[in-house]
Amino acid sequence: MRKNIEERRRNMNKTVIKVFTIIGILVGIFIAWQLIFNEGGILRTGYNALADGINGQWAKVAGDGQSILAKWEDNANDNGEGFNIDTEAGN
């Protein structure tokens, strides 16, 4: 009887560890996603820092306003007319 209780306890501990490990992995993925790919994330900030440095040196050679690399920006058009679709023929 005592062995049966200890075996159940070990199995329950394994299950609890698995569940919390999965939850921890999901939380870690979410945090990493936010840090890397979000608007102020590491990847975007690093790319823009490199692009600014390269474009600054290029502007010294080619003249002001000249650039080689584009900045990483959001190009979303937020005009509030996403559902204003013209479906009439001939327009």
Residue 34 and residue 41 in contact, taking contact as beta carbons nearer than 8 Å = yes
**Per-residue pLDDT tens over the stretch 24-67:** 999 999 999 888 887 778 888 888 999 999 999 999 998 888 88
Can you give the residue ranges of every domain in the chain?
Answer: 1-38, 39-73
Percent of the chain whose pLDDT exceeds 70: 78
Of 36, 33, 54, the closest CA to residue 45 belongs to 36
Angle between helices 2-37 and 42-62 (to 10 degrees): 20
For residue 20, what are the CA distances in angstroms to 17, 23, 24, 27, 34?
5, 5, 6, 10, 21
pTM above 0.75, yes or no: no
